[in-house]
Structure 1
């Protein structure tokens, strides 16, 4: 007997193709699988059926209706989708589950390190020095720099603003001005630059600031991962870099490395402004009470 070739594609595609065959028990099983993806790839068919409250053989029947020889093949398909795919399980819990699936028992730290190294090596081949220079030249020639990132990008926004301030630039982290957001944005002019950060997708606030900045003629820079590359209108300069594949750690080191490169390059082209400001800041900080230096 010829072995059946297992289906390919995403789980959502399999469900759509076989919707007419699915029963009420199948629907309950699929709900359980999708709601807890890491257990879906670790449990056997009997365990999954028990959690769904259906007959122990129901998971096997579901697998066969979807085109698999049995539940082990279906579970292998789910694991591949979770680890390698980017359309199924599109939620934070599932992304965490994918990373745990990829990490072997007791090897979580090594798995994260490997993911970071892979993402950084890819960065070397996707972002050029010319991209960095376009960012740094734009910042150098700006009267004021507005920086905005929300979610995980907010921490990087705060760090960028701090470093630019210490380098002698009038930089504002918009995320820290929420109580005076409108007042702060209202000072924006065509002499200014907005540096936007977005991971996975630009939130509405970032899109709104992009629109306002464009209307006022301010220069716009965007640093994003590949999932958040859509801006309307497009920014003046845009660096987009993968932070890791599905099932890998979604690196914050990658965008931080790009930001560090931009600020370092800026110090090399601003006629000593950054260096002088850093020296002045260090000297001033030493005059402050000890508790202020923390």
Structure 2
């Protein structure tokens, strides 16, 4: 099984030293090092490495190391091209997986965590958004959900120069929302550090529960996606976008309803038509 899949499905509470071990193990090319070497890099004892392995459901570090090796071994071409080869491609199996992922979403993301992130957005003047190219459709959805509340949004680009130009106005009245699905964008750590230096706030949305990003964002929202380790949709991150919009709205319903009404009124002035229900 994939080590990353095991981490994503785990709800074990980790100590500070175990979190450091986890961060080491989630690095590149880790299957070749011993438990003692992991402990040395994490500045802890070897027993902590073994204890973490058992918390994750392994009989010991050697078994965990076997899954690390699987993560690092390229799949055979014939198998690697089969989408949902391990879960079944038919509609019923696919929908069943997505329903399970949606049902366990409140387990991974308590409402109080969403409300805390919403409070940060409510106090912000501008919301900046950042992700890898693969997550851009969901990021665009989230940006629009924020704009529908009347919040000013800035979607950061993909090149260093473009990111720097758009991030230049980030200040203490700003919040950065970033996505790290499967892996973190290369510039994310720098952006989180720079946001903190400027006095702003950060919200990170990830799909690897148990992972501790460094430097730490102000709010970390993590929820596992579908069970298939190779084919995961963005349904869960999209659901979080809507849930976050709702949480922000309910911090001050009068303010945000007025913003929505103002957008609708201006839409009509600009020639937009009201939605017309379809008839069978």
Range into which the TM-score falls when normalised by the shorter chain = 0.5 to 0.7
Decide which of 61, 71, 77 is 1:87's aligned counterpart. 71
Q: Which has the higher contact order (CA 8 A, sep 6+)?
A: 2
How far 1:270 moved relative to its partner? 2.1
How far 1:290 moved relative to its partner? 5.5
Q: Tell me: CA distance 1:199–1:149, structure 2 relative to 1, closer, same or farther (3 Å).
A: same
Which protein has the bigger helix share?
1
TM-score, L = length of structure 1: 0.62
How far 1:211 moved relative to its partner? 2.2
Say if 1:164 and 1:263, in contact at 8 Å, map to a contact too: yes
TM-score, L = length of structure 2: 0.65
1:161-180 matched pairs, under 5 angstroms: 161-175=143-157, 180=162
Q: CA RMSD in A?
A: 3.1
Residue 203 (structure 2) pairs with residue 218 (structure 1)? no
The number of equivalent residue pairs is: 208
How far 1:150 moved relative to its partner? 1.4
Structure 2's unaligned 5+ residue stretches are 3-65, 276-280
Structure 2 SS opposite 1:87: helix
Decide which of 198, 213, 236 is 2:218's aligned counterpart. 236
Instruction: Give a deviation string over 1:41-100, Cα, whole Å, max 9, x none.
Output: xxxxxxxxxxxxxxxxxxxxxxxxxxxxxxxxxxxxxxxx99xx9736668x86763613
Residue 261 (structure 2) pairs with residue 276 (structure 1)? no
Counterparts of 1:86 and 1:126 in 2: how far apart (Å)? 26
- Residue 97 of structure 1 is matched in structure 2 by 82
Say if 2:226 and 2:232, in contact at 8 Å, map to a contact too: yes
Higher Cα radius of gyration: 1
Decide which of 182, 206, 214 is 2:164's aligned counterpart. 182
Q: Tell me: CA distance 1:188–1:90, structure 2 relative to 1, closer, same or farther (3 Å).
A: farther
Structure 1's unaligned 5+ residue stretches are 1-8, 11-80
- Residue 286 of structure 1 is matched in structure 2 by 268
- Residue 126 of structure 2 is matched in structure 1 by 144
Say if 2:127 and 2:174, in contact at 8 Å, map to a contact too: yes
Counterparts of 1:95 and 1:120 in 2: how far apart (Å)? 26
Counterparts of 1:267 and 1:207 in 2: how far apart (Å)? 29
Say if 1:100 and 1:108, in contact at 8 Å, map to a contact too: no
